[in-house]
Structure 1
Amino acid sequence: MSKSLKRVIADAEARGLQIEVLRMDDGTLTAQAAADAVGTTPAQIVKSIIFRDAATDEHVLFLTAGHNRVCPDRAAQVAGIDLAKADAASIRRVTGFAIGGVSPLGHLTPIRTYLDPDILNFDTVWAAAGTPHHLFEIAPDALQKATGATTAAFTV
């Protein structure tokens, strides 16, 4: 088991969450691939999109429904800072995850988090569990509580 996957499971347990992690042999690098793997629609897949403030290096996580795209201008307005898309190296440094496996849980450092309100339209959603091959299912309200995410409109 990878260090990233172990960290996600340990963080979930520490937050009182019981998650079942599933391994997907074909991978889950896109919302469509993840949806196909678990038999749902992309809207029910939570994408972890990270932007950063170039001036301060603060990273901000936007938990986004799989059928939506983050609008950089709206994201910056919601966060109240100038944002640019974070690069793979800074994402790994801050979260401990590689792109394609960034989980909402188990980050190396605390990260300010926002939640796409479309995620709340479902009984359960699926999110990456620290690798491009692992997913877990969770109720949106439990995800929001565990991450401390603020609901905000930042998508197009």
Structure 2
Amino acid sequence: MSLIDLKNELSYHKLKDRYIDLPATGATVEEAANVLQVDPDAIAKSLVLDVNQQPVVVVLSGNARLSNQRFKAEFDVRPHLLSPDKVRESTGYPVGGVNPIGLDNDLPVYLDTSLRGLPWLYPAAGDPYHALKLSLTELSELSHPVRWVTVSQ
């Protein structure tokens, strides 16, 4: 999905005002939290992992760490992050800009329980200089997750 497509999707859902142009890079959780002036937990980071030779996207809160044991319990494999080139090839977005909405190749999206209880979430919006401000309900509706998982510690 291009940035234009993403903006059109947001407009369709009457959420166009939730698209944020960042004045500096938000490629990492720390950078995004600083530029948005929010708690790092509110950053919805999208990790692209290999599960049985298929890329999947797992969205966690900013401070949540991926647990090898919990991931293996959910997916029956150890987690392996894709390389930056494979991330772009699989999602259409660069590392630091992966948005779980409208991904190329209809990748499966999983939302981690670490996102629950946060009033606002800020996922990247296609590149490190754009973000979205969404409620958990909006993120869930727009990303069409396969299911909720607990892969964080």
Structure 1 pair 12/109, CA: closer, same or farther in 2 (3 Å)? farther
- Aligned runs of 1:23-62 on 2, under 5 Å? 23-53=21-51, 55=52, 57-62=53-58
Runs of 4+ in 1 over 3 A off after TM superposition: 10-14, 80-83
Partners in 1 of 2:120 and 2:6 — Cα distance?
18
Give, in angstroms, the shift of residue 80 of structure 1.
3.6
Partners in 2 of 1:40 and 1:50 — Cα distance?
24
- Equivalenced residue count is 151
Q: Normalization by structure 2: what TM-score?
A: 0.88
Which segments of 5 or more consecutive residues in structure 2 lack a partner in the other structure? none
- Aligned runs of 1:67-146 on 2, under 5 Å? 67-146=63-142
Percentage of matched positions with identical amino acids: 20
Q: Which amino acid is the alignment partner of residue 34 of structure 1?
A: A
After superposition, give the CA deviation of every residue in 1:40-97 in whole Å (9 maximum; x if it has no partner).
Answer: 10000000001013x5x31111101001111233223212445421111111111000
Instruction: Quote the RMSD (CA, aligned, Å).
Output: 1.9
Structure 1 pair 126/141, CA: closer, same or farther in 2 (3 Å)? same
Q: Normalization by structure 1: what TM-score?
A: 0.86
